[in-house]
């Protein structure tokens, strides 16, 4: 998985070259179990959003048909995704469940791919999810966890990322 969006440049001086190479060598997709797939963006594209749609007008929640097309023929009962940092889930009509747990470390950001847009949670909380297999299917529990976002924001600012510092303090860009 190549580090994108200038992250490699932003991480220089924070991570060692060996750590950057380790992150860069991670696979773009990973089967955690025979029916559980982990992706960053979508199964086809690491930089695309799964549960949101970005247009020239901005970002919106993806429709069921858009998510179904992005899931394509992937035969996974559970697809875990990220990229947008927004905690969200959608179950498709065929029973497949797509879950984005949110972001532990960055509650908002701006991007230019494929169009200029913002992803904002509106709070500085760290976000994650717990997914449990049950007899009925998958049970998803989202969590928003308070942490010392001001210390994280100070570190981001010290590392030349005032944009991330603002996001860490507020959940907005």
| DSSP 8-state secondary structure symbol assigned to residue 12 | B
Which stretches of the chain drop beneath a pLDDT of 50?
A: 1-6
Classify residue 2: in a domain, yes or no. Answer: no
Distances (CA, A) of 169 to 106, 125, 143, 149, 156: 10, 9, 18, 6, 11
Q: Could you tell me the CATH number of the domain that includes residue 14?
A: 3.60.21.10
User: Does residue 138 fall inside a structural domain?
Assistant: yes
Give the SS3 label for residue 6.
coil
- 161 within domain boundaries: yes
92 CB-near residues (< 8 Å, 6+ apart): 64, 67, 68, 71, 98
pLDDT of res. 9: 58
107 lies in some domain: yes
What is the rounded CA–CA span in Å between residue 131 and residue 33? Answer: 13
Q: C-alpha angle with apex 173: 128 to 148, nearest 5 degrees? A: 50
Q: State the sign of the Cα–Cα–Cα–Cα dihedral 63, 68, 71, 77.
A: positive
Report which of 154, 87, 156 is spatially closest to residue 127, judged by C-alpha positions: 87
Residue pLDDT, tens place only, 86-112:
999 999 999 999 999 999 999 999 999
Report pTM: 0.90
- The residue segments making up the domain with residue 154 are 7-170
Q: What is the pLDDT of residue 7?
A: 53
**Given this model, what pLDDT does residue 11 score?**
64
Number of domains in the chain: 1
- What was the pLDDT predicted at 157? 95
Residue 130, beta-bridge partner list: 141
């Amino acid at each position: 998985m190549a580090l994108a969006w200038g992250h490699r440049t932003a991480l220089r001086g924070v991570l060692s070259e060996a750590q950057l190479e380790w992150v860069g060598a991670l696979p773009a997709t990973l089967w955690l179990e025979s029916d559980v797939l982990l992706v960053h963006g979508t199964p086809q594209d690491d930089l695309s959003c799964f549960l949101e749609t970005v247009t020239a007008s901005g970002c919106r929640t993806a429709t069921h048909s858009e998510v179904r097309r992005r899931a394509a023929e992937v035969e996974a009962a559970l697809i875990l995704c990220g990229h947008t940092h927004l905690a969200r889930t959608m179950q498709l009509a065929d029973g497949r469940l797509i879950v984005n747990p949110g972001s532990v470390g960055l509650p908002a950001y701006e991007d230019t791919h494929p169009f200029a847009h913002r992803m904002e949670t509106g709070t500085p909380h760290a976000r994650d999810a717990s997914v449990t297999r049950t007899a009925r299917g998958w049970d998803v529990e989202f969590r928003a966890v308070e942490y010392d976002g001001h210390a994280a924001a100070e570190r981001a600012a010290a590392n030349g990322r005032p944009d991330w510092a603002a996001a860490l303090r507020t959940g907005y860009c």
